[in-house]
Amino acid sequence: MIEILQGWPGAQLLRGSGTAYLLVNAAHILGIGLLLGAILPLDLMLAAGARVAAVVPVLVCSAAAGLGLALATGLWLFSVDPAEYLANRAFLVKLPLVAAAVLNLALVHRSRAWAEARSGGVARPPLRMAALLSAGLWLSVLVAGRWIGFL
């Protein structure tokens, strides 16, 4: 599987072009910025019990675009040298954190409390706790991602 991923033309492009690698890496950082720049304010507003209906459409779309971009470019960057990433402790910490953050996101978006908050209601305590968990998970993903380069 690793050989297939490394042989993918996109991986070969990044290995052969410093400019292409730079642009994909910058797109990854942009995705992270969009995701965290949207999800953290929303999480903090929910945790504080603020009404979020007015900002939900913009913040959710921005976070979704950022998550999609970060995941796609992250996988692309991973394809350059999967064996090295799989041997990196920080990367191995980051993966379950991303999975937990996405799972939390999916559970929140399926909840009645989220539907109420999105429709103009105040976040109930379970949603407030989920928002705090979300903020903590996404910040942990960010730290783990930066840690990858130091190991």
Query: Residue 1: its pLDDT value, please?
Result: 81
List of residues 6+ apart from 67 with CB closer than 8 A? 31, 35, 102
Instruction: Measure the CA–CA gap between 52 and 37, rounded to whole angstroms.
Output: 15
Instruction: Measure the CA–CA gap between 112 and 124, rounded to whole angstroms.
Output: 10
The angle subtended at Cα 115 by Cα 32 and Cα 118, nearest 5°, is 60
Single pTM value for the model:
0.93
Q: Return left, alpha or beta for 113; rule: phi > 0 is left, psi -120 to 50 is alpha, else beta.
A: alpha
Residue 114 is which amino acid?
W
Could you say which DSSP state residue 121 is in? P
Mind listing the pLDDT tens digit for each residue in 12-40? Answer: 999 999 999 999 999 999 999 999 999 99
Closest CA relative to residue 134, chosen from 47, 12, 10: 47
Contact yes or no for 39/65 (Cβ under 8 A): no
Q: Where are the domains of the chain?
A: 2-148
Quick one: tokens of 93?
């910490």
Mind listing the pLDDT tens digit for each residue in 98-129? Answer: 999 999 999 999 999 999 999 999 999 999 99
Quick one: tokens of 10?
């996109």
